[in-house]
Structure 1
Amino acid sequence: MLRHEFHPGKLIAGLCLLTVAVVYAGDAGGAWDAPWFVALPLMMVGLFLAGVAAAIHGIRPRGAARSGGGGGSVREPRDQGLS
């Protein structure tokens, strides 16, 4: 399996959507009563936090390739395919 870059903004946005789903599932199941407008503030706060996390993650340097040290080239991994 190929490794991928970590995206904290996508993680936070997904957790926010999952929270909204759990709130409305609890409402549908009769565990509690959630008003219809609860999703809007939850999503706005979650998307704001996701944007902040993505911006912070994009600002920091990612490894030695960006630090300017060394003059060597960075090799990218080859795609192994499915065969």
Structure 2
Amino acid sequence: MRRHEFQPGRLIAGLVLLAGGVLYLLDATGETDAPWYAVVPLTIGGFTLAALAGLVSYAVRRDRRERSSASSDK
């Protein structure tokens, strides 16, 4: 199996959506009383955090590629 690169932004986005789904599931079973408008800021905040993590990891990977290509050119 081919290895793939770790993408923390996708991990965070998946965890945020999973948390939102669990909140709605708990609300449907009657365990909690989560208002619908509480999930929207949670989702938007989580997607913002995921975007920042994705941008940072992309910048780090790009910098590493540039450094390795610069060192191999010498």
TM-score by length of 2: 0.84
RMSD across aligned C-alpha pairs, in angstroms?
A: 1.9
In structure 1, the gaps of 5 or more residues are 72-83
Q: Does 1:66 align with 2:66?
A: yes
Q: 1:61 to 1:4 in 2, by over 3 A?
A: closer
In structure 2, the gaps of 5 or more residues are none
Please show how residues 23-34 of structure 1 align to structure 2 within 5 Å. Answer: 23-34=23-34
TM-score by length of 1: 0.76
- Specify the alignment match of 2:8 in structure 1: 8
Q: Deviation per CA, 1:17-61, whole angstroms, max 9, x where unpaired?
A: 000001111111111101121221011100000010011101114
Q: Is the partner of 2:5 in helix, strand or coil?
A: coil
State how many pairs are aligned.
Answer: 72
Q: Which amino acid aligns with 1:69?
A: S
Q: Could you list the runs of 4 or more consecutive aligned residues of structure 1 that deviate by over 4 angstroms after TM superposition?
A: 62-65
Higher share of residues assigned helix: 2
**TM superposition shift of 1:66:** 2.7
Higher alpha-carbon Rg = 1
- Specify the alignment match of 1:46 in structure 2: 46
User: Aligned residues: percent identity?
Assistant: 42
